[in-house]
Structure 1
Amino acid sequence: MAVQSWSEVLRSSKKTALISDGKRKVHYLLPDGSEMAEEYDMKTDELISRKLSSKTKLGGPGQWEVEVGEASLNTVPSTEAEIKENSSNPVFMRKDTKSNFQWRVRNIPYPVDTYNISVEPAERCCIIRTRNKKYYKKFSIPDLDRCQLPLESTALSFSHANNTLIISYKKPKEILTLEQELMKELKKLKGTNEGDVDCKTQ
């Protein structure tokens, strides 16, 4: 029943689609007033990005938080914030495949046996540690939280190549079913092509 509840939220949300640059861009207005924006590759149906925004306590529009994909660079003011040496710091981002939730940590050069990646079911998170104490990251899997599904250690695997740590978590069948049903529904949406869209100003 728990999976059904999130699928019902998606089903009952107001959805609009836009086709642009080979991507299907979908905007959801969820029943609680929060918003979600997703982009899918039109050829593969793979999720490219997902952002969510909840209303503030006063009911105004909240900040967009990137869940999947890279944070848009133009959201950062072009000030002293972009210091050159920061480009060598590790960059953590999520980039899913059809069958796995997947995260990448770029600019992390240590050999594969340096990393210890654990699933912490009680805390509902995964933790990346390095034996040399140079990197530590705790992250959750919101998709599993929303569907109230357990975290399984056996679903996790990782590899390291080209200074990038790649962590994969096999999607449970409930998530795969939900995503397939959602994609069928999204393909039924009449997606306007960019240029035809009537942008409503707030």
Structure 2
Amino acid sequence: MAEPSWLEQLRAARKTALLRDGKRKIHYLFDNGKEMAEEYDLKTNQLLLRKWREKNALGACGSWQVEVGEPDLLVPGALDRELIKESSTNPVFMRKDTKSNFQWRIRNLPYPKDVYRVSVEKDRCCCVVHTTNKKYYKKFSIPDLDRFQLPLDSSALSFSHANNTLIITYQKPTEILTAEDELQKELKKIKAANNGDGECKTQ
């Protein structure tokens, strides 16, 4: 029997919704025990956060792993420009999508645009960022494409650089855009609570 598609898995998951702070927060509990939490902007339906957790071998909940949105770490405050040196702050990698693109931002990369190389490794199903000055290297996958079993397309990948931040953009395939529209219709059918403790819980 074929494994259900990602959209079918989302439909089958137990879902609870909460409207708070101008966001629609959705908590999913899958048959395999995994949990996913998403936050959408109520006005634009833009995905702001997606994170996952699963139970460990002893059955206790593990920590949340952020897939989309600000990583769960303490980002240092804005330092005085004079204090910033190339090696003083580590690069911060995060994903922040737009309606039509997957997008990643890597902060604290001060090198000029021409030193960056961004490419697709189709055999390893990942994207690779490196600098010709050998100061930075990062390999990352696009879980959304993996879940829909879609191949990487190098023509969909582009990047720009501004304010010490490398912005990598991957155009969403039609299949993803269609599925996201379908999902939004499903999510709007869920009766949402208007208050709560900020974390949707499903027993």
TM-score higher than 0.5 here? yes
Which residue pairs with 1:80 in the alignment?
A: none
2: CA distance, partners of 1:100 / 1:8:
23
Match of residue 188 from structure 2:
187
Deviation digits for residues 81-109 of structure 1 (CA, Å, limit 9, x no counterpart) = xxx99872211100000100000001111
| Structure 1 contact 3–147 (Cα < 8 Å) conserved | no
Structure 2 letter corresponding to 1:133 = K
Structure 1 unaligned regions, length at least 5: 75-83
Is the Cα–Cα contact under 8 Å of residues 18 and 196 in structure 2 kept in the other structure? no
For 1:136 and 1:179, how far apart are their aligned partners in 2? 31
Amino acid at match of 2:21: D
String of CA shifts for 1:56-95, please: whole Å, max 9, x gaps: 1233212211000112347xxxxxxxxx998722111000
Please tell me the root mean square deviation across aligned C-alpha atoms, in Å: 2.5
Provide the residue aligned with 2:15 in structure 1.
15
Identity of aligned residues (%): 67
Unmatched 5+ residue regions in structure 2?
75-83
Which residue matches 2:25?
25
Q: Give the distance between the partners of 1:97 and 1:179, measured in 2 at CA.
A: 12
1:128 and 2:116 correspond: no
Instruction: Classify the secondary structure of the residue corresponding to 2:124.
Output: coil
**CA shift in 2, pair 1:198/1:172, >3 Å:** closer
| Runs of 4 or more above 3 Å deviation | 84-87, 195-202
Match of 2:153 in 1: 152
Higher RCO, 1 or 2 (CA under 8 Å, sep at least 6)?
A: 2
C-alpha contact 1:3 1:148 (8 A) present in aligned 2: no
* TM-score, normalisation: structure 1: 0.87
Change (3 A) 1:88 1:196: closer
Partner of 1:109: 110
